[in-house]
Amino acid sequence: MAQAPKPKLPRSRRKAMAEETESVILRAAEEVFSSKGFFDATVAEIVEKAGVSRGTFYLYFKNREEVFSALLSRVVGEMFILSASHETGTLQERVESANRAYLEMFRRHREFMRSVIQVATFDSNVALALNSLRNKFIERVRKHLERSKEKGILYDADPAITSFLLVIMVEFTAYSWLSFGWEPDKERFDFEKVVKEASSLWSRAVYK
C-alpha cells in the first residue's frame, strides 16, 4: 500500500526554517573567516562548522565570496540599526549612545571586520560593498547635521564633508584599535573612555 504524502509545511514555517539555516551558515562563516582569514577559509570548513551539506550551502550562496558579502551586509546592517541616535537626552548624550552602540558591535565582530578591511584592499567588489554600507552611516549623519544647521546649533561646517570625516574617524579608530589591537600608549585604552573622548571630539567640532 502506497504511503500517503507527507503534509506540506505552511509557507511561513518553511520561510522561518530557511532563514534559520541561512543564519547558521552565516554564523559558521564568521567563525571561519575570523579565525582563518578570508584567503585561507574554505567552503568545506564553513559547511563543517555549520553542520550542513555542501548542497545545502549552495542553495543559499554561490561561493565563498558571496557568503562573505552577505555576512558583511548583515554585520554592518546590525551596526547601523543599533547605533541609531536616540531622540532623548542632550546632543552629547545622543552622540555617545550612538558611538557606544557602534563600537560595541564592532568589538563583537572585530576579527571578521579585520578580514573585511584586508579583503577590501584587494577585492573591488568587497570595497564597493563596504563603501555602500559606509554611505548609509554618512548619509544619516549628514541629514542630522543639515537639520542642526537649520536650527542654528551647528558651526559653519559643510554637512557633506563633515559627516564623511566624523564617520571615518570613528570607523578607523575601531579598525585600528579593536580589530588590529593597536594602542600607542603602554596602558590599554578603557572602552568607555574612548567612547566619551570620541563623542566629545565629535560634539565640540560641530555643535555651538
Q: Cα(75)–Cα(83) distance, rounded to whole angstroms?
A: 12
Task: Give residue 114's domain range.
Answer: 67-206
Is 101 within 8 Å of 82 (Cβ atoms)? yes
Exposed/middle/buried for residue 117 (C-beta within 10 Å: 0-12, 13-18, 19+): middle
Instruction: Give 156's contacts (C-beta < 8 A, 6+ positions apart).
Output: none
Report yes or no: 149 and 159 within 8 Å, Cβ to Cβ. yes
- Which band of pLDDT confidence, cut at 50, 70 and 90, is reported for residue 187? confident
C-alpha cell at 205: 567640532
pLDDT for res 118: 87
Q: Report the chain's mean pLDDT, rounded to a whole number.
A: 89
Would 1 be classed as within a structural domain? no
What's the mean pLDDT in 59-74? 94
pLDDT(1) > 90: no
Mean pLDDT of all residues in 152-156: 93
Pair (135, 166) in one structural domain: yes
Query: Widest CA span of the chain, in angstroms?
Result: 83
What domain count does the chain have? 2
Alpha helices in 109-158 (DSSP H): 110-122, 124-151
CATH number at residue 24: 1.10.10.60
Distance CA 7, CA 12 (A): 14
Query: Do both 57 and 74 map to the same domain?
Result: no
